Chains A and B, each alone.
Chain A
């Protein structure tokens, strides 16, 4: 029986009859109603979560497209074909490239921004809202706007470059430049969000640690790197993992950055086609090759798991250096 019932303080018994029936009812209630309450999630998850997950793997072992009526089992053929597919590797490099170019500056900028916000500011909420507002905008809408800002002839970015005497950059047809433009879009959306998460963690650091560091002669910069950053490590790892899961799945930004014919390719020569776009191109319009697309999906999942694990290892190692915090953090 549940602990709650056992823990009840003894009460005067209510009149016999009525208590009997309501007691049985309430026992039934406490025992089974929790399952009733969580059932909707698990039901929905079973149908639209677990089943598709397992089924993706099943489909990936078949030659399965929209038109064919039978789907012959082909074993690992989709996977072996994929590993020899130049466009797949191209998309993989694009995805990793955009991921690195966007994530590293994003986390550094977020740290800097959080440090700015962690001061006695006038209009505190106003500043926080200002840095968070990109995060609440429509991704597709903003990608269109950035596509124009990074336009070749009349884009504002090239106009600014021209003002300071630099050459215009082909933001859409140069592979590396398109990575940078898309990273700018990603960072614009996520830096403020990460800054607020880091800010919350900064505010949880006890003030006397800083006072102790100041007495030991550490200046502001030293305090930041020797007290703040080490204590933020768990939060930084959290942000890095969230950025990994999101960054490696990038779709809407690069997809909407391009327009014209076949934008799902991310540019005429697949300059910025990500893995998710490649999966989409194969699984849906124009190819509708579900088996092949599913193989891409599974390799993408494996990639995310690997990169997230590497993230944790690297960040643990980086932050594990000696410092005053070990004793102070007690």
Chain B
């Protein structure tokens, strides 16, 4: 580092301030989740955890309006299925776009990029009508099937495959008699692993977080995703805020866990994507 780039104590002070703002709402969510419901009326507000977490959790799971456990299980099913599928199909298509030559390749890639620009909201109403016709309303396929492979995933894998896999390697595998499918499995997939991991993490988090479409199509309160359970809790007639916050904390926990374990890769993915964009 040249002297131009030294960090002064002031830099650290500013960063501590920014990091504090970032972390505080999350911290406070866990504080309220671990206290009794009268924590909400206290001024100054409590900022250290209490000992009520267990009781809050059992009340939350007993709540007959929120179907929280069902929501949690549903969200795990949906997010896991979508993640596996997106990574699988995106790495196939990304490989094809980056390394195989075929007629119409560039035009089709442009189509994929264009799909990333279209707001999802625009299609929600016909999608709902379509689901009604398929009798998928209120059922998990409605929130799984439309996102089994995404334009973003294909594009991301294509970008990575383009630079991570040398043409010579593929050529060599071909010479050894490998078909395209075997090349994908034995040569491409191992090389794509870092990008596949990032794509998987981002997809899992996005799907876990998804709100608008599940809200539109899953109207049966007894079969929600976890985000819809939160909605039921928050809109409830009688609000017990420590219970609601326990719900938000549990819904956030898997995301935080993923982030703590793989934060470095996620940051790398965001920053590398940025340089190319």
Residues of A within 8 A of B (CB): 2-4, 7-8, 11, 22, 25-26, 29-31, 33-35, 37-38, 40-42, 44-45, 47-49, 51-53, 55-56, 59, 113, 116-122, 125, 127-134, 136-142, 144-149, 154, 156, 159, 188, 192-193, 196-201, 204, 207, 210-211, 214, 220, 235, 238, 245, 249, 251-252, 255-256, 259-260, 263, 276, 279-280, 283-285, 290, 293-294, 297-298, 300-301, 304
Contact = CB atoms under 8 A, between A and B. Distances in A.
Contact of A127 (B19, B145, B251, B259): B19
A4 B1 contact: no
Interface string B1-17: 11011110001101100
A6 to B, nearest CB: 10
Interface stretch (B49-57, B58-66, B191-199, B208-216): B208-216
20 contacts: A8-B175, A11-B175, A30-B100, A41-B149, A44-B148, A45-B151, A48-B127, A52-B127, A53-B126, A119-B5, A131-B22, A136-B205, A138-B251, A140-B230, A148-B241, A154-B41, A188-B25, A193-B270, A197-B270, A200-B272
B265 to A, nearest CB: 11
B96 to A, nearest CB: 4
B23 A138 contact: no
Contacts of B26: 133-134, 137, 142
B177 A56 contact: no
B115 interface: yes
B110 interface: no
B96 A34 contact: yes
Nearest to B75: A138
Interface string B80-115: 000000000110110111001110010010011001
Contacts of A256: 211, 230-231, 234
A138 B248 contact: yes
A145 B274 contact: no
B92 A40 contact: yes
A83 B227 CA distance: 34
User: What 3 pairs between A and B have smallest CB-CB spacing?
Assistant: A52-B123, A141-B248, A130-B19
Contacts of A279: 121, 124-125
B234 A144 contact: yes
Nearest to B119: A249
A148 B119 contact: no
Interface of B: 1-2, 4-7, 11-12, 14-15, 18-19, 21-23, 25-26, 28-29, 32, 40-45, 89-90, 92-93, 95-97, 100-102, 105, 108, 111-112, 115, 117-130, 145-146, 148-151, 154, 171, 174-175, 177, 179-181, 184, 205, 208-209, 211-212, 215-216, 219, 227, 230-231, 234-235, 239, 241, 244-245, 247-249, 251-252, 255-256, 258-259, 263-264, 266-267, 270-272, 274-275, 277
Contacts of B215: 280
Given A55-B129, A136-B255, 19 more contacts: A30-B100, A35-B102, A48-B130, A120-B5, A120-B7, A128-B267, A129-B267, A136-B205, A140-B251, A145-B29, A148-B241, A197-B277, A256-B211, A256-B231, A259-B239, A276-B212, A290-B125, A294-B126, A300-B121
Contacts, number: 308
A136 B253 CA distance: 10
Contacts of B234: 144, 147, 256, 259
Contacts of A259: 234-235, 239
A35 to B, nearest CB: 7
A26 B179 contact: yes
B126 A56 contact: yes
Nearest to A146: B25
Given A33-B100, A38-B96, A120-B1, A51 B130 contact: yes
Contacts of A2: 101-102
B89 A41 contact: yes
Contacts of B6: 119-120
B233 to A, nearest CB: 8
Nearest to B41: A154
A59 B231 contact: no
Contacts of B205: 136
Contact of A56 (B122, B154, B171): B122
A116 B15 contact: yes
Nearest to A22: B177
A258 B117 CA distance: 29
B130 A210 contact: no
